[in-house]
Amino acid sequence: MKFTIYQESRPGARPTNEDRIAYCYSRDALLMVVADGMGGHLHGEVAAHIAVQYITEAFQREARPKLEDPFLFLSRGLTNAHHAILDYAADRFLPEAPRTTCVACVVQDSIAYWAHAGDSRLYALRGGRVLSHTKDHSRLQRMLDQGLIDREAAARHPARNRIFSCLGGIQSPQIDFSKKTPLMTGDLLVLCTDGVWAPLGDELLAQRLSAAPSLAQGVPLLLTEAEARAGATCDNLSMIAMLWQDNYAPDTLGSVSTRTMPIDSFTTQMEEFAKARKGQQPLPDLSDDEIERAIQEINAAIKKFSK
């Protein structure tokens, strides 16, 4: 495989960042995961962290060096992460389980497979245009599908953040899967939370990122523009962007080639819990001991569903 990848997450105007993002690759497979936690003060970010860490660790166990069935992996990964979140809440007698959206994508054999629950999105871009993207599990999307509202009105609708599928909810999540999507050299895969796509819209997101000289330049500029458009109400913003380059063209700055990787090795990029939760505003009153205990509890919840 050969690709360029870049990820970034920001708190926006919120006190803390409840988004979590990660990518991980072996010699023959690549995983990308984005989760947007819900539930406030620690718990939303815990749910997102459990989802991202569980799916990443499952990938490291199973991609040796590639997955036997990517769709089955995604199904089990999101479902087991959902149950790990519920187990975390039950063990701590929380009145309501923390929740998170999740979108995850696997690429192997030049084919992309993805799955999602909630309104964090994946965009497949080709030639500066949206080839396909996930459909939100939201009340607003249902209204759009039924012709009850147009997209201009949807952008201002008070119910735009209400979703009906997530990990950690009372009901089992609705998980939607893509078709097997062959990738061509130059294709972009973009995973992001609603803090990014909502202020920008599909076309602007595709145009800006496709026109950028590199992902390392394009992603930060796109997040900055989303922040400016959202203003004082800006949500957490997170994005992973991957440019597929599986050919023999000269390497570009920051590109990754896995051809020489050992068959049983992995490279993972995921921020530690304590670092990822920091925002621009003063942190809630959590001591180092409380953060350390949260990390231990997250690991315990994940371990129960890791086989």
Q: Give tens-digit pLDDT for 155-173.
A: 555 555 678 889 998 889 9
How far, in Å, CA of 164 to CA of 179, rounded?
Answer: 22
% of the chain at pLDDT higher than 70: 82
Tell me the whole-structure pTM to 2 decimals: 0.82
Q: Where are the beta strands (DSSP E) in 54-170?
A: 99-108, 111-117, 121-126, 129-133
Of 124, 132, 22, nearest in space to 77 by CA: 22
Confidence of residue 275 (pLDDT cuts 50, 70, 90): low
Range of the domain at 53: 2-304
pLDDT number for residue 163:
83
Average pLDDT over residues 205-216: 96
Strand-pairing partners, residue 107, are: 30, 112
pLDDT number for residue 39:
67
Confidence of residue 286 (pLDDT cuts 50, 70, 90): low
Each residue's pLDDT tens digit, 82-108: 999 999 999 888 888 899 999 999 999
The CATH number covering residue 200 comes to 3.60.40.10
% of the chain at pLDDT higher than 90: 63
Determine the 3-state secondary structure of 36 from DSSP.
strand
Confidence of residue 301 (pLDDT cuts 50, 70, 90): confident
How far, in Å, CA of 84 to CA of 143, rounded?
Answer: 32
Each residue's pLDDT tens digit, 213-261: 999 999 999 999 999 999 999 999 999 999 999 753 444 556 677 766 7
The set of long-range contacts for 257-263, using a CB threshold of 8 Å and a minimum separation of 24, is: 257/1, 257/2, 258/1, 258/2, 258/25, 258/26, 258/27, 258/28, 259/1, 259/2, 259/27, 261/26, 261/27, 261/65, 262/27, 263/27, 263/64, 263/65
What is the DSSP annotation of 200-222?
Answer: H-HHHHHHHHHHSS-HHHHHHHH
Determine the 3-state secondary structure of 176 from DSSP.
strand
Each residue's pLDDT tens digit, 28-59: 999 999 999 986 555 789 999 999 999 999 99
Domain count, the chain: 1
